[in-house]
Structure 1
Amino acid sequence: DEQNPTIVYNSEGTYDVSLEVSDGTETVSITAENYITVITAPASPEAPTGEAEVCSNYGLTYEYTVSSVANADSYEWLILPAEAGNISGTGLTGTVTWTLEWAGDATVQVTAMNDCGNSEPSAAFDVMVYICTGIANNIDESNLNVYPNPNTGSFTFELNGFNNEVVVTIHNTLGKIVYRSDKLKVDGNFSKTIDLDVKEGIYYMNIKGDNVVINKKVVVQK
């Protein structure tokens, strides 16, 4: 009986809309099928994943990813503190350019969005940002070989082309360290076999020493 009724929907779905007009003698009605779609604001995403240790002084970009959220149309990425860098992207991948010569602890978060609003931000993914020296022109990922890759958790890594004492760490996408070996002496060439007792997924190997920082992705499939 109302000309402009307010309707409250209690659940998601697609609904018909009917209009009925009467002059007291004759009644006319019309129905628009599947006229209104009701959705809810998306839930908060899981924490992003990506590199947990990065270099800020080479102008490199780093990608962070998140799993999709039901009802989300787009995503908003956030770095804290804001001065640590810039992050772009409205989808499941955020691309970070860290501020040159900035160092410290930073976090990456993401929010899911649709026409109903924004979710709460995801849990923070912690990133340690370093100013890396002396490695831009001569030591990089090509000095590290991992095979087989993908693997079942057992693999060999080889370092070559430099002399240094390094620390090797492997962390999962949440930043948890699953392997660490200190004071490995690289004298031109070095190889070591690792047997990780971990679940399937993506892991990141980090090689760090004086004037040396190398990162490589390791994929475990079982």
Structure 2
Amino acid sequence: MILCGLAMVGLVVFVEQAQRRIPVQYAKRMIGRRSYGGTSTYIPMKVNQAGVIPVIFASSLLYIPALIVQFSNSKAGWATWISQNFVKGDHPIYIATYFLLIVFFAFFYVAISFNPEEVADNMKKYGGFIPGIRAGRPTAEYLSYVLNRITWPGALYLGLIALVPTVALVTLNANQNFPFGGTSILIIVGVGLETVKQIESQLQQRHYEGFLR
């Protein structure tokens, strides 16, 4: 169990830190006697940009049918079907629906949080461009292409991590409090990584040597 927990934490840390860095260059501009620009940077696109939000959305949405049946006290066929398929977490229909909802909400959240057209327009406004890609609409299309490609592994990773407690419940006869998986490990590792980043930034501001290399 300890080895399983360490492996899960290592996987979460690896994916949460993984990112696709798109290089961006800024052309030099002469304003008076001073030159501006001429620098190079990158746009970081995380594999899991949505974080734990899709898991929370999917679990909340799956709870609604059971809540409707509970308040309606109906004995109709639809209520019986929901009670049999969407109440128990180890039912195949529940697992498949949960996984698909996580993938959907991962793409949905990324689509509303990252706007390739806006990023491309800002780059064009300040003289930035991606090497080999024309500024403007081609840049937005390239960013959309990369974003869709990189969101797929992040969405599948979220779905698999969220299903770990359910798989353990079915295969290992674990109890409901199985700790290694789902939203608990994602939140714990996310908070830990953010805390380390904050400490590292404070150390760099005070000119101390950091412990992240």
User: For the superposition of Structure 1 and Structure 2, which TM-score range results when normalised by the shorter chain?
Assistant: under 0.3
Which gives a bigger RCO, structure 1 or 2 (Cα 8 Å, sep 6+)? 2
TM-score (norm 2): 0.27
Please say which structure displays the higher CA radius of gyration: 1
Q: Normalization by structure 1: what TM-score?
A: 0.26
- Which structure: greater helix fraction? 2
